[in-house]
Structure 1
Amino acid sequence: MTSTLSFALLVFVALLTACSSTKKQFGQVLVRKSTDTTRSKQEIARIRALDNDHFEGASFEKGSMEIKYRLFKPNQQQSKDTLRHPLVVVYHSSGRPVGRDNKAQLGILPKLFASPQIQKSYPAYVLAPQFSTRSSDYVMDTTRGVLCSIPRPCLESVWQLIDSLKSSLPIDHERIYAVGFSMGASTVINSLSARADLFAAGISIAGIPQFDKLDQLRSTPIWLIHGVDDTENPITSDERFYKEMPSRILFWKLADTTHDTIFTTQLLGETLPQWLFNHRKK
């Protein structure tokens, strides 16, 4: 009886350790929801308070397609490496961020990566494009019985924009990353599927994956983060995605977490960049 209890205790401690650290690069982890809601709200408010003017506004035209975007540039004088820096591409969600004001897309994620606290340890360019329509559509995969995502043509313009920025800015071509929430998370998987040559890694938070290009994704590190109680974008799609190609995927399943309550202190601070910047194109 004593040995059984001791073994159970060791398993419990090991799980807590895995859930509280991003040292685990790949695999599936059930993460308990943070109970410190006050601290989470304070942290979110601090991140959102970053002035939009820290991001330069511009537009990119290719043929008949125009993409408005914001770009944060790292402080060269404060950076440890003054030669080339990573580029973090942040895709926005649906709803309010969709439009042409070139402001609404500046939510938690782009401001997190551009915040002084993160830039001090992880200096990088942060690109926040804005789509005037949805960037990804959802359909039912009748074979798998789950939702899957389909990229819209407008996404091609963002990849062309990235290629253009690579030639005009000192961007480290081996460290270009994609990050997104909700529809933006789906767009992350769409981007990695289409341009595995471009992106070194990606983080998908509460998204819907794409299944028709799994072979192109097998060498790209991906971090899936999803609330177990998400009813807007059900976790079942990510569960099937992980089951079919688990070799290079870290899958965080957040217990007692819905679509709208996913951003807590567990995902803020250095948690995301610490994992992301550990990967580069080989």
Structure 2
Amino acid sequence: MAFIFAVSVSVNSNAQRYVENNRIIDTLEILKSKKLLNDLNTDNFKRKVHTGIKSAIPYRLLSPKEVIPGKKYPLVITFHNSSRIGNDNQNQLKPLARIWIRDEIYRNFNCFVIAPQFNKRSSDYVKGDDDILKSLPSNDVHEILKLIDETEKNYPVDRRRIFLIGYSMGASTAQNLFSLRPEKFAALISIAGVADFSNIEKLKRKKIWLIHGKQDIDNPYMVSEELYRKLAGNKKLIFSSYKNLDHNNIMVPFLLTEDIPKWLFEADK
């Protein structure tokens, strides 16, 4: 992850790590990155539907490029932002889920990937007594836990390597799941999310990567900053702070690199 630590790093060997990045991204780079991903063929993401008691959740399932009998593989669950809400079982793949079908990623990081699509908000935001926004999970988030259990039963999933990742609302949902069942998941990547503060003590021993732009006016940067503060002492926590990036371009540094899969694949419960 040389790129991530290339700009300026503040590290305390006895605590979490804060990484500040001064990168500037222009519109052309945003369009180029997203086009490269959006042009990828998504046929390997198979269409599925999880049917719960009160709702059905469409999702896509990507299997490893090569499945060796007797071997188990990591499971990644990737969550979309609110602009991808719907039930077409297609829009949730743009753009974050698509990093897993880039040739070099699909070839080098064998894993299962679940990309669910929610037909309404998967996480809602409320202000706490301290006037800080926090995220609360919808009922469908609890259904995702059942979907994960179902996938574990039907596919050779390594239960010690189940990872959560999301952007915006999806990052909040990933945090909700991580807080609900911290013992189930090996690592979390939250990109521009609203934090879940409900299980802080358990999260102090978990592998977490927070990514947020200081120019974000949609999901305030200060919420990730507050979560970072509350998780003081977690040596497995990284907070990547982008001084010049906002809500709409914060994903761009990671779309065409190996940073996300490489960091996740280093994790194990």
Indicate whether the TM-score tops 0.5: yes
Equivalence for 2:203: 217
For the residue of structure 2 that corresponds to 1:226, the secondary structure is strand
Q: Distance in 2 between matches of 1:113 and 1:275?
A: 14
Q: Distance in 2 between matches of 1:237 and 1:17?
A: 23
The alpha-carbon distance between structure 1 residues 35 and 134, as it changes in their structure 2 partners (threshold 3 A), is: closer
Aligned positions of 1:113-262 closer than 5 A: 113-143=100-130, 145-246=131-232, 247=234, 248-262=236-250
**Cα drift, residue 265 of structure 1:** 3.3
Identify which of 60, 65, 70 aligns with 1:75. Answer: 65
Letter of the structure 2 residue corresponding to residue 130 of structure 1: Q
Q: Distance in 1 between matches of 2:98 and 2:37?
A: 6
Question: Between Structure 1 and Structure 2, how many residues are aligned?
Answer: 258
Bigger Cα displacement from structure 2, 64-73 vs 229-238: 64-73
2:73/2:110 contact within 8 Å kept: yes
Letter of the structure 2 residue corresponding to residue 186 of structure 1: S
Bigger Cα displacement from structure 2, 48-57 vs 225-234: 48-57
Matched, 1:274 2:230: no
Q: Distance in 2 between matches of 1:251 and 1:175?
A: 21
Identify which of 56, 69, 81 aligns with 1:66. Answer: 56
Q: Percent identity?
A: 33
Identify which of 81, 86, 90 aligns with 1:99. Answer: 86
**Higher CA-based Rg:** 1
**Cα drift, residue 42 of structure 1:** 2.5
For the residue of structure 1 that corresponds to 2:262, the secondary structure is helix
Equivalence for 1:5: none
Equivalence for 2:39: 49
The alpha-carbon distance between structure 1 residues 17 and 260, as it changes in their structure 2 partners (threshold 3 A), is: closer
Identify which of 3, 23, 28 aligns with 1:33. Answer: 23
For the residue of structure 2 that corresponds to 1:230, the secondary structure is coil
Equivalence for 1:4: none
Letter of the structure 2 residue corresponding to residue 156 of structure 1: H
For the residue of structure 2 that corresponds to 1:161, the secondary structure is helix
**Cα drift, residue 226 of structure 1:** 0.2
Letter of the structure 2 residue corresponding to residue 122 of structure 1: F
The runs of 5 or more residues in structure 2 that have no matched partner are: 10-14
2:24/2:244 contact within 8 Å kept: no
Letter of the structure 1 residue corresponding to residue 161 of structure 2: R
Bigger Cα displacement from structure 2, 210-219 vs 30-39: 30-39
The alpha-carbon distance between structure 1 residues 28 and 59, as it changes in their structure 2 partners (threshold 3 A), is: same
Equivalence for 1:11: none
1:34/1:264 contact within 8 Å kept: no
**Cα drift, residue 225 of structure 1:** 0.2
For the residue of structure 2 that corresponds to 1:47, the secondary structure is helix
For the residue of structure 2 that corresponds to 1:53, the secondary structure is coil
Equivalence for 2:12: none
2:254/2:260 contact within 8 Å kept: no
Q: Distance in 1 between matches of 2:57 and 2:125?
A: 22
Q: Distance in 2 between matches of 1:89 and 1:174?
A: 14
TM value normalised by structure 1: 0.85
The runs of 5 or more residues in structure 1 that have no matched partner are: 1-14, 20-24
Letter of the structure 2 residue corresponding to residue 168 of structure 1: N
**Cα drift, residue 267 of structure 1:** 5.2
**Cα drift, residue 208 of structure 1:** 0.3
For the residue of structure 1 that corresponds to 2:93, the secondary structure is coil
2:65/2:107 contact within 8 Å kept: no
**Cα drift, residue 64 of structure 1:** 2.3
Q: Distance in 1 between matches of 2:204 and 2:159?
A: 20
1:1-40 C-alpha deviation (Å, 9 max, x unpaired): xxxxxxxxxxxxxx74666xxxxx9511111124576455
